[in-house]
Structure 1
């Protein structure tokens, strides 16, 4: 019988398996501590896959290593067994994981009890390995020291997971129970005074309110807020608004204080505060920061680092006769790696927003040698805006990808991730977020998808006429002699359709300063109306009708209202209608009109494509409001492809496609002809586009205002935990909008009026 694995390979594996696994485990720790912060800075799928793989493999390697050490104990010479026992605590240390990642997804925090049981099991396994070497083990002291460090690290991780679980997160938001005044005792005294015929009244004495000292320190001016002040404000509001994640109802007092501060801020400063606030949320939910930044955390971190350093010192001094030289070298690598990882972790702890929170007021104002590096680091992390002037030679449809080279860049280098050319007027410069990549707190980009472009790119066209990443698909199809339908079936069977669609058809733009200011100003303009609770409720539930009804427009907008109200269309239907209508209006404009700068036109275009991206590629964020959005989108795409095929259109023919749709006679409503079996809204959107074109003067102002309201509606109706999940995936503009709405009090989670009075019994003479 032929042995499939040669004996030499088996012997090599038996000799090197433990050494290989333990080195691999150390490598995974180094990779995670450096790479895991990248996931809040990018939504790149390949980067996410690498971090997810490292997260799973790190735990597997450590568990596998402890098991192998336990099973191999007693084999070979006794001296070598002592080193095996010394290596086991290192794997326990690795199971504790780096400070920069405790959970990959929000659901991992709910498994804290499993990690607690894992801690107990691994401690027992490590003790079992160690006890087998006693007596006679001359390196038992460094083994015990590393064992203490390993328990500390693993306990830190388990504690961090517990604190970040939603039940614990909710518990941390609850205040001490307040039974109120002693009603029974007060009424006894009241009755006794009344019985004594003494004039007695119950008087309510007002108590001083708990106000934020920070709110009064901000004045409306053009000067940029100091970065330390930004961190202070962000932390104060993080402590309040993190309750939104677990559906804690906040008080009107908290709403008013937040609204007072943000009404004094510029749009840029508001973005800076929200950015830091979401960073606090990310670190609290996905890292060890809550455990580390505490008195006990500092003590245990000192204990862990001190134990590792002492273990290295003791190991250097012990007699190593009888140890294999390669194992001694490996042990030094493990000790040096553990100390290096702890040093990196302490560096990250110091240069952290949480360190600023721990400083007293005097230290924050000083410019000492300890504060200067921290202040400088915060300046590097401060959002930077830079001017961009698009080239006149930019692709009109924004789809230039650079073929196979772009695909390789997308897959293997997130730093060079391909960005499709932005569809911005080439004659107009604009400011975008451009913070250095390593210092970003989020991806700073706005994703986009386009239904018309998507449908055209799935139609056949000669390869030499296609200048984008779609070439790769066509090459594969030609090599395999597959039709488009056959290729699509293979992709669907492999479960890769959504993944490839996102690579091929999602563009990424840097956040435009003018767009952010516009969103900020649109919300701020509703503050005066929001003082009335009934109007506030209407604002929170509006998805376009509020701006259409409450603002004065030059044209007749009454025909547009049925396209944004609940009685007429669902939200997902409204979103698709306005997206296609925006695209039709955008591509059917004259050359003179397209060359004329128009911010509202560009805002409408960006928000329209962003909302479709959320509907199609981020369905969990839209699940509360999307309804049958996925079905409606697919049916609309099917009708569009059928129409484009009949018109012999393909990739790059966006303007022709939109012009062809607009030329269709729509005197009779589509539902009258087709019935309601198909959920397509292609030609209903054509009717809307024609009605918008009739309002030639202000159509883009109307459309941009409607799109902001649609974005706000989706943001406020997205489940809060979904926003929390998104901060670990590069972040989304919709999450920033949601938190900005909360700060302006434009959400319905402010319902409790806090009492600020106590009853006092007053007896007259």
Structure 2
């Protein structure tokens, strides 16, 4: 009988299978602890795939290794093995339990993993039984004390992970925030007293004493702008890198940013499980955010708050920052260190055990201790630690800053947002004045028309990715190269990406050209053969009866049948959608966040928050998708309702695609003029804001359907129909190969659109290409006739469209996105909650209390 696997390979496997499985498990733990924290800083697919693969294989490899050790304990020793090798392998089983406990930086890859906490309880029980079985098989064993110490450390780590999964499961997460049952005032006692007074014929009545109105409600927090007024001495507060302290004392310190974020995290984490908030929580948040002197502070508070939310749901951090969690970590680390010391001091271990096994054991201890040390460092320098060891005082003037506060503030200052001034691109060139011919990185004295502060925080200091992916419909339809408005990448990153991407682009180009030449060649040959077959069939009867049906009816249809068959295979295995998504991703690039864009959105929501003083108004504002801005910013003579119909009479996804194409048509129009007496820098800023948010919303609609599932509708069908109409139109105009978005835009605008496209085409096609053209022309007429900057209107409409999507996106989808670098829509979602612009506040119903009044 022939062995499928050669004997020497089997011998190698028998000798190294346990050691290999142990090293594999250890390697996966190192990958998880080092790379899993990075997934909240970048959406890169390669990193996510690496973490996902390691997360799935980590438990499997540890279980597999325990099984191999258990099986090996029952086997008879070979003559060339040292007598106590199995006793050393009994020490490896508790290490695998330690690995199953997982690193602190990741307990769940997705929210669904938290619901499997009960499975981990059973896993803990059975792995403990397997470990005990392995140890019992090795008795008597001189390593029993060391094994017990490692076993204790592993059991504690496994319990920590199970507890983290349990507390982060949505049901338990909701239960942890629900307060104790409140029976309210004693109704029965009140009515008994009321009845007794009436029977005694005393003039009695019951009145309800309402809670004070919001203007008279007590304010629990002193606002930052007041708390950090010039009255506080610099000597009482930590300096920002200088001994003299900070001159601008109206801004929040780095430590205070984390403290406010932690307070708001404990309040608004109920958003994840759709809890209802009281008016007090709304007013407390609104008071702080409305009076912040700088919108950047709001951005910093929200990014730290989202970090707390990520840690609570996907890591052990929240569990470890409890008293029991901290104590368990001290015990787990202490027992592991004690076990290593005892093993290192054990005499004759190199004689009693195989050298390779001793090396593996030292590797397990060394790497395990190193990973544990890294976990402790991450624990000590996390935002949770700074928030837990300090408290936000109601009256900061009474709080004297200690050296610890200064140290904490300095450490947090290393992770502050970094900005770089950068001139904006316009048509591939920097948008500069004649007097200023600056480079991409501008100086403080730059006189560019449009210079913005671009977020350039270093990768390892970020709390989120800091950029927005954008996708443009017309660039995709014309296969045009997309120009970046801002580019925060360093020169090394730009050139390295070109070096990496160039071979793939070259191969793709060669394949496309070969395909085109092949199809043209087949077409030429087919036409020649068809002409010859037709000529022969007219002259010869046998050709007419045999050759013509065979070629025309069978051979000529083979390419079409092959294409249909391949398409059927792709659809059956759901590969076509994957290929289509890969193709679309070629037209996606990241636009860095700019300070001016965030300030613009912050001020828009801050203004709207003033009108959200009742649940009805707050809900109406959150539901608005452009009509609020159009009615508030357009004069009556501007035919407001004509533009309002573009958002109220259509579905959200239809409105999104229509306004996106209209925005691009206006953006590519080079004949536009700036209204008189209008700030040129504001005009270009609004133009840029509209372009970025428009392309970002199209990216969400087409490539992030999970975030837009509540409002997307049939957006995919509309996109495909609009793309089909665009392709057909470009082919008729013979511009399909120009790859020029500006030319395509001019050609679309040249088509007369006096008649409603729906009246001509009907509703069979869902295309909105020429509806968008009509909208663009209406916006241009608005600017021409009323001297209103259309870009100001467009930018504010896009903010409303973004807010509509943010507050209608499922909360779990927002949380899931935090594991992929976070998105701007997550920040807008939380910012709307801070301003009270959601339907999760009951802000007009206080706690009315009944009081029995007895008259004279």
- TM above 0.5: yes
- Aligned residues of 1:449 and 1:613 also touching (Cα < 8 A): yes
Matched, 1:162 2:166: yes
C-alpha distance in 1 between matches for 2:95 and 2:827: 41
Partner of 1:329: 359
Residue from 760, 765, 774 that aligns with 1:687? 774
Q: Deviation per CA, 1:11-40: give whole Å up to 9, x if none.
A: 111111111111111111111111111111
**Which runs of no fewer than 5 residues in structure 2 stay unpaired?**
230-247, 432-446, 482-500, 521-559
Partner of 2:715: 629
For 1:509, what is the secondary structure of its paired residue?
Answer: strand
Residue from 226, 239, 245 that aligns with 2:253? 226
Change (3 A) 1:137 1:478: farther
- Aligned residues of 1:138 and 1:318 also touching (Cα < 8 A): no
- Aligned residues of 1:442 and 1:730 also touching (Cα < 8 A): yes
Residue from 645, 649, 655 that aligns with 1:562? 645
C-alpha distance in 1 between matches for 2:18 and 2:400: 52
**Structure 2 matches for 1:384-533, cutoff 5 A?**
384-389=418-423, 394=428, 428-457=450-479, 470-478=505-513, 493=575, 496-533=578-615
C-alpha distance in 2 between matches for 1:254 and 1:591: 47
- Aligned residues of 2:102 and 2:158 also touching (Cα < 8 A): yes
Shift of 1:111: 1.2
C-alpha distance in 2 between matches for 1:455 and 1:536: 39
Partner of 1:611: 697
Shift of 1:535: 3.2
Partner of 1:216: 223
Residue from 755, 758, 778 that aligns with 1:668? 755
Shift of 1:356: 1.6
Matched, 1:242 2:273: no
Matched, 1:702 2:793: yes
- Aligned residues of 1:457 and 1:470 also touching (Cα < 8 A): no
Matched, 1:712 2:803: yes
C-alpha distance in 2 between matches for 1:213 and 1:49: 46
Partner of 2:532: none
Shift of 1:674: 2.1
Q: Choose 187-196 or 335-344, whichever is displaced more.
A: 187-196
Q: Deviation per CA, 1:44-65: give whole Å up to 9, x if none.
A: 1111111111111111211111
Which protein has the larger Cα radius of gyration, Structure 1 or Structure 2?
2
- Aligned residues of 1:215 and 1:260 also touching (Cα < 8 A): no
C-alpha distance in 2 between matches for 1:381 and 1:127: 46
Residue from 572, 578, 586 that aligns with 2:653? 572
For 2:477, what is the secondary structure of its paired residue?
Answer: helix
Partner of 1:374: 408
- Aligned residues of 1:21 and 1:65 also touching (Cα < 8 A): yes
- Aligned residues of 2:40 and 2:822 also touching (Cα < 8 A): yes
Q: Deviation per CA, 1:352-404: give whole Å up to 9, x if none.
A: 1111222244999676665555333211222222212357894799xxxxxxx
Q: Deviation per CA, 1:254-308: give whole Å up to 9, x if none.
A: 1122111110012111111111111110000100011100010011101100110
Partner of 2:663: 582
Change (3 A) 1:366 1:314: farther
Matched, 1:677 2:764: yes
Residue from 600, 610, 619 that aligns with 2:686? 600
Shift of 1:527: 2.5
C-alpha distance in 2 between matches for 1:85 and 1:150: 14
Residue from 304, 309, 318 that aligns with 1:290? 318
Number of residue-to-residue matches in the alignment: 729
Change (3 A) 1:331 1:533: closer
**Which runs of no fewer than 5 residues in structure 1 stay unpaired?**
398-424, 460-465
- Aligned residues of 1:392 and 1:426 also touching (Cα < 8 A): no
- Aligned residues of 1:146 and 1:307 also touching (Cα < 8 A): yes
Residue from 317, 328, 349 that aligns with 1:300? 328
C-alpha distance in 2 between matches for 1:83 and 1:41: 41
C-alpha distance in 2 between matches for 1:15 and 1:468: 43
Matched, 1:48 2:129: no
Shift of 1:311: 0.6
For 1:442, what is the secondary structure of its paired residue?
Answer: coil
For 2:591, what is the secondary structure of its paired residue?
Answer: strand
Change (3 A) 1:396 1:225: closer
Residue from 118, 126, 135 that aligns with 1:121? 126
C-alpha distance in 2 between matches for 1:391 and 1:752: 45
- Aligned residues of 1:469 and 1:504 also touching (Cα < 8 A): no
Partner of 2:385: 355
C-alpha distance in 1 between matches for 2:392 and 2:262: 18
C-alpha distance in 2 between matches for 1:694 and 1:316: 83
Residue from 345, 358, 367 that aligns with 1:317? 345
Q: Choose 722-731 or 317-326, whichever is displaced more.
A: 317-326
Change (3 A) 1:35 1:301: same
TM-score, normalised to structure 1, is: 0.89
C-alpha distance in 2 between matches for 1:8 and 1:701: 75
C-alpha distance in 2 between matches for 1:539 and 1:756: 26
For 1:529, what is the secondary structure of its paired residue?
Answer: coil
Matched, 1:179 2:183: yes
C-alpha distance in 1 between matches for 2:660 and 2:759: 23
Matched, 1:98 2:103: yes
TM-score, normalised to structure 2, is: 0.80
Shift of 1:626: 1.1
Partner of 2:533: none
For 2:468, what is the secondary structure of its paired residue?
Answer: strand
Shift of 1:252: 1.9
Matched, 1:638 2:645: no
- Aligned residues of 2:224 and 2:288 also touching (Cα < 8 A): no
C-alpha distance in 1 between matches for 2:791 and 2:672: 16
Partner of 1:275: 303
C-alpha distance in 1 between matches for 2:462 and 2:171: 30
Partner of 1:340: 370
Q: Deviation per CA, 1:179-236: give whole Å up to 9, x if none.
A: 1122222322333344344555556678899966435344498743111111111111
Shift of 1:483: 6.2
C-alpha distance in 1 between matches for 2:258 and 2:372: 25
- Aligned residues of 2:615 and 2:839 also touching (Cα < 8 A): no
Residue from 147, 151, 156 that aligns with 1:147? 151
- Aligned residues of 2:279 and 2:842 also touching (Cα < 8 A): yes
C-alpha distance in 2 between matches for 1:482 and 1:733: 45
Shift of 1:693: 1.1
Change (3 A) 1:712 1:197: same
C-alpha distance in 1 between matches for 2:321 and 2:722: 52
- Aligned residues of 2:279 and 2:846 also touching (Cα < 8 A): no
